[in-house]
Chains A and B, each alone.
Chain A
Amino acid sequence: MLEIKNLHARLKDGREILKGIDLTVNAGEVHAIMGPNGSGKSTLAGVLAGRDGYEITEGSVTYQGKDLLDLSADERAREGVFLAFQYPVEIPGVNNMYFLRAALNAVRRQRGEPELDAGQFLKAVRAKLKLLDIGEDLLQRAVNVGFSGGEKKRNEIFQMAMLEPKLAILDETDSGLDIDALRVVAHGVNNMRSPERAAVMITHYQRLLDYVEPDVVHVLSHGRIVRSGDKSLAAELECKGYAFLDDVA
């Protein structure tokens, strides 16, 4: 589904953040990417989602046979790539429902499915709301405006559930969540698991992995994947900390 080869990326100021990432994610798999602050985790997520401000200097990213880096951010999303933001953006004046319907219909057009009218959309929304324990009132507000940290993260997962992406990239979706919210979010992610879909979870902590069991765990350090393994690697990191990586790297 996703094949990243020797990916190098730098910021506009010239600082190189990704220094040769190789990563293959197959349909049906969940990968976790762990690593200390500044290792390049969020840059990787941003590069995959098409955020501005990075320059790709080397390497390639192939998604479902297409050159992902050739697509704009919105094209990627319509092709089924979803980024759950570490810091969901507040957009005053844009109603959450209006926003989500525009997004869903854009994705549906791409898939050759008919657009949903307001009534059909509301029906679809209600079915997913329950899943994530989100009140309908949240949807009547402007996108993320006045949402608590937990509400924002839940809203991300709710959007993911509505848009049904093929490849979900979760950028520290677990950070700042209390245990109940974490369970709800994990439940939402687990519900999305299927042989046709894949997910990349970026996280600092093993905690999320207790609820969403990854197939592969990677450790990112200084812009490279320095170790990959099964979920026991996460447990090892949790007890030894990231410091030991310096020896490996």
Chain B
Amino acid sequence: MVTTKPFLETFDTVHAGEPDWLLQRRRSALARFGELGLPTRRQENWRFTNLRPLEKQEFAPGDSVSVAATAIAPYLVEGAGHRIVLVNGRFDSGLSKLDGLPAGVLLASVKAIVSNDVPGFFLLGPQIFGEGTEEAKQPFLALNTGAALDGFALGIPAGTKIERPIEIVHIADAASPLSVNSRSAILAGEDTKASIIETFIGTGEYWQNAVLRVQVAARAELHHVTIQDHGSEAIHTGSTTIHLAEKSRYNSFNLTVGGRLARQDVYLAMSGADATCAVDGAYLLRGSQEATMATLIDHQAPGCKTREVFKGVVEEQAHGVFQGKIQVRQAAQKTDAHQLNKNLLLGERAIVDTKPELEIFADDVKCSHGATVGDLDEAAMFYLRARGIPEKQARNMLVEAFAADAIDLVEDLRLQQHLRRHLDRWLAGRPS
């Protein structure tokens, strides 16, 4: 059961010192969550997602713990310059690295901003905890508004380019079942450029409910990689909202390999003309994992471009879901939007649900969508084996090629290589 009770019980302690408007906002959001309850499969947008693991058990708000540097070391990006580490959803200053940023760049913990330790207040109301109509309908978002203690905030002032990738590590360490609500925001000012990589990892039984809001101002360029590599008992729900202003560029990649139940929602709105986005990713699932990638890309302004490519490898009795919708409003003439979801279904009991959707109200657009579900190419398998390559290695080569095809779309080569290493690690764990 997910109830607001444990969050209300600790409310006064954990939110002590927060401004009144925020406390009020949190209380009404928790009340809203209480009314909504968890989504059910009767709702179209949730009909492929089985939330039973969340219902079976209570996830208390996590206590603050510390983890060793060695716990995060294998997941760090080579050459990353700046880092925020959140342990059970709380900022860990010892593991984080905030120095060396260009002048004026704000990279801080949300808690530090809320407590006024860092002058980032300008982000707090509008960007991080800003009102949105969405949470009236989205229970996980409402709960997050009520419960999130911390997260990261990145603010890049106009004209600033950040050379080295910024990495955010969300790590959970759960001795008993607990929940982690993180609330984060990125505000990329006009004519800025940055790369950011978020990694979710952890051990034990926990539920991470992560909310991120991204704003990319005019002509800014933001590269954003998310790696969800949670422990095998973890549950992940994520909601990312992105707003793109005119001529901005947003390139994202989501790699999902961890957790037993995962659901990532992405809402991307292109409200400025001539913006470009790439919303790509891969989910690699085995055992009894279930993962859903649900995206809605909303073309509101003319001349924008979208590329969306998601590849799934689903083995054993795992369940992969892709629900992708591209919506082109009437004003969004000259839209160029293409969506593709390809899946390898590699177990007799494995399941893939894919629902690619285009909804077009403008008449002068170039749009396409498609989805495939299939097995490895038999002819290719025979070709590799006919050269002496053992069956398991041959299968791995083809699976790697399939997934790497999406990873190779990542423009920032440092992040691309990092993703490749995750893929190799996953392949090394494939059963024979």
Give the interface of A toward B (CB within 8 A).
49-52, 72-74, 76-78, 82-83, 85, 88-89, 91-94, 98-100, 102-103, 106-107, 110, 142-143, 159, 163
Contacts and interface: CB of A to CB of B under 8 A. Distances in A.
Give me the 10 closest cross-chain CB pairs, A-B, nearest first: A93-B401, A77-B388, A103-B387, A89-B383, A74-B385, A106-B388, A73-B385, A78-B388, A107-B388, A91-B380
Contact of A89 (B379, B400, B404): B379
Contacts of A82: 386
B387 A51 contact: no
A107 B405 CA distance: 28
Given A89-B379, A94-B380, 16 more contacts: A73-B382, A73-B386, A74-B388, A77-B387, A77-B388, A78-B388, A85-B383, A85-B386, A91-B377, A91-B383, A92-B405, A93-B402, A94-B401, A106-B388, A142-B401, A159-B387
13 contacts: A52-B378, A73-B382, A74-B389, A85-B386, A89-B380, A89-B382, A91-B377, A92-B405, A93-B404, A99-B384, A99-B397, A102-B393, A159-B387
Contacts of B102: none
A93 B401 CA distance: 4
Given A51-B382, A99-B384, A102-B397, A72 B389 contact: no
Contact of B386 (A77, A93, A98): A77
A103 B388 contact: yes
B160 to A, nearest CB: 37
A109 to B, nearest CB: 9
A89 B397 CA distance: 15
Nearest to A81: B386
Contacts of B388: 74, 77-78, 103, 106-107, 110, 163
B383 A163 contact: no
B84 to A, nearest CB: 34
Contact of B387 (A52, A92, A142, A163): A163
Nearest to B380: A91
A192 B387 CA distance: 17
Instruction: Specify which of A77, A85, A159 lies most central, judged by the most chain B CB atoms within 10 Å of its CB.
Output: A77
Given A52-B378, A93-B401, A94-B398, A74 B383 contact: no
Nearest to A49: B386
A51 to B, nearest CB: 6
Contacts of A143: 383
Contacts of A94: 380, 384, 397-398, 401
A100 B388 CA distance: 10
A149 B405 CA distance: 24
Nearest to A78: B388
Contact of A77 (B385, B393, B397, B398): B385
Interface residues of B, number: 23
Contacts of A91: 377, 380, 383-384, 398, 401
B77 interface: no
B397 A52 contact: no
B391 A74 contact: yes
B175 to A, nearest CB: 42
Nearest to B379: A89
A163 B400 CA distance: 24
A71 to B, nearest CB: 11
A103 B393 CA distance: 10
B382 A106 contact: no
A92 B401 contact: yes
B380 A106 contact: no
B17 interface: no
Given A93-B401, A93-B402, A94-B397, A99 B391 contact: no
B401 A50 contact: no
Interface string B354-382: 00000000000000000000000111101
A78 B400 CA distance: 23
B66 to A, nearest CB: 42
A102 B391 contact: no
A82 B379 CA distance: 16
Instruction: Specify which of B379, B383, B401 lies most central, judged by the most chain A CB atoms within 10 Å of its CB.
Output: B383
B16 to A, nearest CB: 54
Contacts of B404: 93
Contacts of A163: 387-388
Contacts of A99: 384, 387, 389, 397
A106 B392 CA distance: 12
A52 B401 CA distance: 23
A82 to B, nearest CB: 8
A163 B378 CA distance: 22
A106 B378 CA distance: 20
Given A52-B378, A85-B383, A88-B383, A74 B390 contact: yes
B158 interface: no
B394 interface: yes
Nearest to B378: A52
Given A92-B405, A106-B388, A74 B394 contact: yes
A102 B380 contact: no
Contacts of B383: 85, 88-89, 91, 143
A83 B384 contact: no
Contacts of A159: 387
A72 B391 contact: yes
A82 B401 CA distance: 24
Contacts of A103: 384, 387-389
Nearest to B388: A77
Instruction: Specify which of B385, B390, B405 lies most central, judged by the most chain A CB atoms within 10 Å of its CB.
Output: B385
Interface in B384-432: 384-391, 393-394, 397-398, 400-402, 404-405
B379 A106 contact: no
A91 to B, nearest CB: 5
Contacts of A50: 385-386
A106 B405 contact: no
B280 to A, nearest CB: 15
A74 B390 CA distance: 6
A6 B382 CA distance: 26
Contacts of B377: 89, 91
Contacts of B394: 74
Contact of B390 (A88, A93, A98, A106): A106
